[in-house]
Amino acid sequence: MKQALLTLLTLLAALACLPAPAAQAAEGSVTPGVTQALAVDTMAQRMLACAACHGKQGQATRAGYFPRIAGKPAGYLYNQLKSFQEGRRHNAAMDLLLQNLSDAYLHEIADYFASLDLPYPPAAANGLDAAQQQLAQTLVRRGAPERQIPACAACHGTALAGRLPAIPGLLALPAYYLSGQLGAWRMDVRHAAAPDCMADIAKRLKPEEISAISQWLSAQTLPSGTRPETSSAQSLPLRCGSVTP
C-alpha cells in the first residue's frame, strides 16, 4: 500500500509539472518563462508522467512489475486505457489518471507509444529446469489442443512480438507482470471486452504452467527493430472481443 501511494504521488507530481493549456498564453496571463514552456509542449513531454512506472519512453525493463508499452500496437494500448477507464482493469494510479481523459486523447497516447522503436533489454536467466523449459515451450509454440488451449504464437505472432492492430507482444516483459495478468484473468479480476478469450485460456492453465510460461517468455530475446506483425488473413483460434468484430 505504501509503495502504491508513493507511485501515485510521483505520477501526480509529474502531471502537475506539465505545461498549462495554450489558451492561457493567448489571454496574456502567463510569464515569459511559462510561454517558453508552452512552446515546447509535446506529447513526449506530457508522457513523462508515465515514466514513473513504465520507464523512460515506456521502455521499462525485465525487472519489477510494470510492463513495457513502447512499440505495442496502438489498438491494444487504446483498449487497455479504455479498460482502466471502464473498470475492466484496475490500478489505483491508472484509474485516477485516466478518468477524465477523452477518447480522442486516449488514441493520441496510444499512437504515441506505439510509434516508439526502442531497444529491448538483454535476456535474463529464468531459473527453469529442463522439464519446465519444455513445458513452457510446448504451450507457447503448440498449445494444448486437447484442453482447448491454443499456442501463444497462434495469436501473438510467430516472433511473439504481437500482431496489428490490437494483439500485444509477450516478450521483454517482467515475469511477475505476465504471471500476475494470467492470474488476474484466471481469478476473474482482470477482464476484456466479451468474448474474453484470455480469461477462458487462463482458466484452463494450471498454476505451474502459468509460472513456467511467464518465466520462459520473460527470458527471451528480441532483436532491435522487432515490430508487431501486420494483420494476417489467418483466423484466430478463438474469438476475442478486443480484436475481432
Query: Residue 56 is part of a domain; what is its CATH number?
Result: 1.10.760.10
Average pLDDT over residues 6-15: 44
| Cα dihedral sign, 24-96-173-122 | positive
Q: Are residues 107 and 147 in the same domain?
A: no
For residue 167, being part of any structural domain is answered with yes
120: buried, middle or exposed (CB in 10 Å: 19+, 13-18, 0-12)?
buried
pLDDT at 12 over 80: no
For residue 33, being part of any structural domain is answered with no
Q: Are residues 211 and 155 in the same domain?
A: yes
- How far is Cα 141 from Cα 207, in angstroms, rounded to an integer? 19
Q: Are residues 16 and 93 in the same domain?
A: yes
Average pLDDT over residues 83-93: 95
Q: Are residues 98 and 134 in the same domain?
A: no
Domain count, the chain: 2
Lowest mean pLDDT among 17-31, 40-54, 95-109, 159-173: 17-31
Instruction: Give me the DSSP letters along 101-154.
Output: --HHHHHHHHHHHHT---PPPPP------HHHHHHHHHHHHT-BGGGTB--HHH
Measured distance between the N- and C-terminal CA atoms of the chain, rounded to whole angstroms? 39
pLDDT at 37 over 70: no
Q: Are residues 165 and 212 in the same domain?
A: yes
For residue 28, being part of any structural domain is answered with no
Q: Are residues 145 and 67 in the same domain?
A: no
Q: Are residues 12 and 88 in the same domain?
A: yes
For residue 228, being part of any structural domain is answered with no
pLDDT at 39 over 60: no
pLDDT at 4 over 70: no
Q: What is the pLDDT of residue 176?
A: 93
Q: Are residues 12 and 97 in the same domain?
A: yes
Q: Which domain holds residue 182?
A: 130-218
Q: Are residues 85 and 146 in the same domain?
A: no
Model's pTM, two decimal places? 0.82
